[in-house]
Amino acid sequence: QAPPHIMFATLKFAALLLAVVVCWATQDYDYNDAEIDEEPTLGDSPYGSLWPLPQKVKISTVVFKLSGASFHIFDAKESSSGASCRLLQNAYRRYDEYIFTSSRKQGQNKSKKALASDMSELQVWITSADSECDSYPSVTSDESCEFTGMVFVFFHFSHLADTLIQSDLQLYCLETFSQLVYKDEYGAKSINRTDIHDFPRFAHRGLLLDTSRHFLPIKVILANLEAMAWNKFNVFHWHIVDDPSFPYLSRTFPQLSQHGAYHPYTHVYTPSDVKMIIEFARLRGIRVVPEFDTPGHTQSWGKGQKDLLTPCYSGASPSGSFGPVNPMLNTTYDFMSMFFKEVNTVFPDAYVHLGGDEVDFSCWKSNPDIQKFMEQQGFGMDYSKLESFYIQRLLDIITTTNKGYMIWQEVFDNGVKLKSDTVVHVWMGNKVEEELQKVTEAGFTTILSAPWYLDYISYGQDWQKFYRAEPLSFKGQLASSDESIKTPTCVKYIYGNFPVFWPNTPGLKMPK
């Protein structure tokens, strides 16, 4: 039986080099060379609890035992990291608890001595000069893993089976190792000698959670981050604000959440909350990319920031309702400049998601001042040009913060001038392959989420459609480059998302 956390699943991208080295000189190894099937099949997996399925797996029939009394995870003496690396030490404790929780809580194995067939330790050897202990994960983080079963004499353990992780960033290799551990028929922790060559197919394996439509308690966010790490997801796309509510508590503009949140005290994420979530994610190799979507999806913004939104008109008089951000006022851009400077300091990731989707032009069309501005700018009646005008000025502001940006596909479709490192997020379900071809041929990195909106609930085994969705099934000169496509999963409208999300998400076609 696999550790309890293996029941969940995730996807993520960075890179690791991991070598499992076993010292066992007297045993011949009988390998079952595992090939990866293209189509899902029903029945027990021949690979146990490995998830996502590694690129290449060879599982031997040779079994070693792990004793809670003798097994330890620690740094190899050659490692560039050591006891001062909190990220690693935290991970060692975490995975030790995952593997041995029940036995150690019950006080078992305290006096048991290690047997000759025991695997006594897992040594972690960080080979990179920069162990990344104090940095945040990035899109370039190394996540490749190498488990190699072989006779290894360096440690001089002639009777113990030992394992070496050789890596630049080993968090997901530790996860793979923990997934190999199981209980035999007598309840003993066991592990088969295994060769694994693995690396992520996509650099961005993300989960979107919407905390505006439904405020999610911090414990729910942390539980999802934990499950993401178990399943090797590496990007938490935090859709933190939207029309319904503004739960982000801004130090610069506290009135935004004071008036825009469902409740100004109980339903907000304070600066300390955000910092804790980012650190919790960092310790699990997960990036946190916030989304602050404008000019649409901003009704909650307007409740706390006067004159930010466009007044809508009914005939010649204001209707009392408001539309998207007002793109003609200089005060709009002054506000955005100050707000995103704060975002830049609060969220350390190299990217921020700027949204730009589903802008309703009807309010702009009704406003006489906007109509005059359109005429002055020579936009005629093409309100997509007005949207592009706003987006372009916003992108100029973001550029001054030295952050990269992600945008929804409509911004690209409307012809906004984008920097070469812009990430275009394809989410609309119609003509997906055509859109991917256009975006990648234009030279932009792409995130694809269109096939994986889990709020579209259906009866039966709907996980199969998620599994069969192939991100690279489009024509285009970059179609063979996995690095140009990134794949997240989106959950917007489901409250209590955990039981809905995690049974479905493991079906995403990431392993190979």
Q: Provide the pLDDT confidence category of residue 481 given band limits of 50, 70 and 90.
A: very low
Both tokens of 502, joined, read 């995690």
Query: Position 247: which residue type?
Result: P
Query: Which of 35, 185, 358, 410 is the catalytic position?
Result: 358
**What letter would DSSP give residue 338?**
H
SS3 483: helix
Q: What is the pLDDT of residue 130?
A: 61
pTM of the model: 0.83
430, pLDDT greater than 50: yes
Mean confidence (pLDDT) of the chain = 78
Q: Provide the pLDDT confidence category of residue 13 given band limits of 50, 70 and 90.
A: very low
Q: What is the pLDDT of residue 473?
A: 83
Q: What angle do CA 441, 442, 445 make, to 5 degrees?
A: 85
Residues 376-427: tens digit of each pLDDT:
999 999 999 999 999 999 999 999 999 999 999 999 998 888 888 899 999 9
Both tokens of 436, joined, read 């991917």
- Compute and round to an integer the Cα radius of gyration of the chain: 25
Do strands 485-491 and 445-448 pair parallel, antiparallel, or not at all (unpaired)? parallel
Rounded CA separation 85/222 (Å): 22
Rounded CA separation 349/367 (Å): 38
Residues 20-77: tens digit of each pLDDT:
222 222 223 333 334 444 555 566 777 778 888 888 888 888 888 888 888 888 877 7
Q: What is the pLDDT of residue 281?
A: 96
Q: Provide the pLDDT confidence category of residue 336 given band limits of 50, 70 and 90.
A: very high
Q: What's the average model confidence in pLDDT over 194-198? A: 82
Q: What is the pLDDT of residue 38?
A: 53
Q: Provide the pLDDT confidence category of residue 117 given band limits of 50, 70 and 90.
A: low
Query: Position 494: which residue type?
Result: I
Rounded CA separation 275/273 (Å): 5
Whether 230 and 200 have beta carbons less than 8 Å apart is answered as no
Let me know if 143 is a catalytic residue.
Answer: no
Q: Provide the pLDDT confidence category of residue 358 given band limits of 50, 70 and 90.
A: very high
The rounded percent of the chain whose pLDDT value lies above 90 is 44
**Long-range CB contacts (< 8 A, 24+ apart) of 178-181?**
178/3, 178/5, 178/6, 178/95, 178/98, 178/99, 179/2, 179/3, 179/6, 179/48, 179/49, 179/50, 179/51, 180/48, 180/49, 180/50, 181/2, 181/3, 181/66, 181/99
Highest-scoring range by mean pLDDT, 1-10, 291-300, 473-482: 291-300
Highest-scoring range by mean pLDDT, 33-42, 149-158, 252-261, 451-460: 252-261
